[in-house]
């Protein structure tokens, strides 16, 4: 069973992810549905052979040490994949996320117009949040590419692994991959300020050290973009504050209130009007009212501010979901299932 043949077939079927698990046929996620491909069951030996085909020596060493490894794999003419190899039931399992080699323009992603406006900001922190597979990386890549077409600036990305491969246009873009180019997000951020960046992309603010370094970079006049696995703006603010010890939380509230520019939280839906996926997007812009709520530890009031400032481009997740439903793009069941307040949304959709 040839790895590249499996991936070629999955890509042609429009798969977003491919799973190679011992004892199962190769399986692809196609428009959110797990679909077994017409290939033989994967053996332990076959899974290990496919892993060795993709991973280099340092990646294999890491896999052998911690039984987990993240890296990217490219097949010329077919595409690039973000790969996670891990152990399950004492055998190798591999999950692969297909990465579109061509960065889609923002206009093709069904993003609110306000997100393009964010790419004109000179400094501060912009967070794109959502569950795994919600399209965060694609949104960030489209934002960076928009700036690449417009500005003569220096962009540095820290990624795990590199997903979209940028081609420098007006900007000079450096992409550093964890493991190959830099040991950790935190280490990369500690040194990045000496590399004369204008724009910094951090793949994920996954720990306190990385979060603190990202906020410091934003404080010193850089535009910093990053992600968190949170579902809405208020939860994002609370998650960042909760990373810090109690005796530092007042200080970080003040720092975050000064540096945060926007939180964009997205959820992907399977479209009902045509093939493909469409995002529902909550947008919080850091107005003076939002900054006050962050400083005063009243993040739970942020949804009210978003609701009353829709004219500025803000939108709650549930309002965004309702708009998709009323535009005939998603099903009623899917809308209610992914709402922040399902009972309230169900009443609104029935009205």
Closest CA to 320 of 233, 224, 252: 233
CATH superfamily label, 106-350: P-loop containing nucleotide triphosphate hydrolases (3.40.50.300)
User: Which residue did the predictor score with more confidence, 220 or 162?
Assistant: 220
Residue 143 main-chain phi, psi, to 5 deg: -65, -45
Q: How far is residue 81's CA from residue 69's CA, in Å, rounded to a whole number?
A: 14
Q: Domain coordinates of the chain in residue numbers? A: 3-99, 106-350
Which pLDDT band holds residue 1 (cuts at 50, 70, 90)? low
Summarize pLDDT for 235-254 with one digit per residue, the tens: 999 999 999 999 999 999 99
For residue 92, pLDDT beyond 80: yes
> Contact 260/294 with Cβ under 8 angstroms?
yes
Class of domain 3-99: alpha beta
Judge residue 85's burial from the number of C-beta atoms within 10 Å of its C-beta, 0-12 exposed, 13-18 middle, 19 or more buried: buried
Which pLDDT band holds residue 275 (cuts at 50, 70, 90)? confident
Residue 134 main-chain phi, psi, to 5 deg: -90, 0
């Amino acid at each position: 069973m040839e790895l590249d043949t499996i991936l070629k077939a999955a890509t042609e079927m429009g798969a977003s992810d491919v799973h190679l698990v011992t004892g199962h046929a190769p399986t692809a996620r196609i428009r959110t549905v797990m679909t077994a491909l017409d290939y033989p069951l994967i053996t332990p030996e076959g899974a290990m052979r496919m892993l060795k085909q993709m991973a280099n020596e340092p990646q294999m060493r890491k896999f052998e040490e911690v039984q987990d490894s993240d890296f990217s794999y490219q097949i010329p003419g077919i595409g690039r994949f973000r790969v996670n190899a891990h152990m399950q039931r004492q055998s190798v399992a591999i999950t692969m996320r297909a990465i579109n080699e061509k960065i889609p323009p923002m206009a093709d992603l069904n993003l609110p117009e306000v997100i393009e406006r964010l790419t004109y900001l000179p400094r501060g922190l912009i967070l794109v949040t959502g569950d795994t597979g919600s399209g965060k990386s694609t949104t960030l890549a489209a934002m960076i590419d928009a700036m690449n077409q417009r500005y003569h600036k220096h962009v540095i990305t820290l990624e795990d692994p590199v997903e979209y491969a940028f081609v420098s246009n007006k900007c000079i873009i450096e992409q550093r991959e964890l493991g190959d180019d830099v040991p950790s997000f935190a280490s990369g951020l500690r040194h990045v300020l000496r590399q004369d960046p204008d724009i910094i992309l951090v793949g994920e603010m996954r720990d306190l050290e990385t979060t603190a370094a990202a906020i410091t970079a934003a404080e010193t006049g850089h535009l910093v973009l990053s992600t968190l696995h949170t579902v809405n703006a208020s939860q994002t603010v609370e998650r960042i504050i909760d990373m810090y010890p109690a005796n530092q939380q007042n200080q970080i509230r003040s720092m975050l209130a000064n540096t945060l520019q926007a939180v964009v939280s997205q959820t992907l839906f399977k479209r009902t009007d045509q093939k493909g996926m469409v995002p529902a997007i909550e947008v919080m812009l850091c107005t003076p009212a939002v900054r006050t709520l962050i400083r005063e530890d009243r993040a739970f009031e942020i949804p009210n501010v978003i609701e009353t400032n829709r004219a500025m481009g803000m939108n709650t997740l549930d309002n965004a979901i309702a708009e998709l439903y009323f535009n005939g793009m998603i099903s009623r069941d899917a809308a209610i299932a992914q709402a922040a307040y399902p009972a309230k949304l169900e009443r609104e959709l029935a009205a």
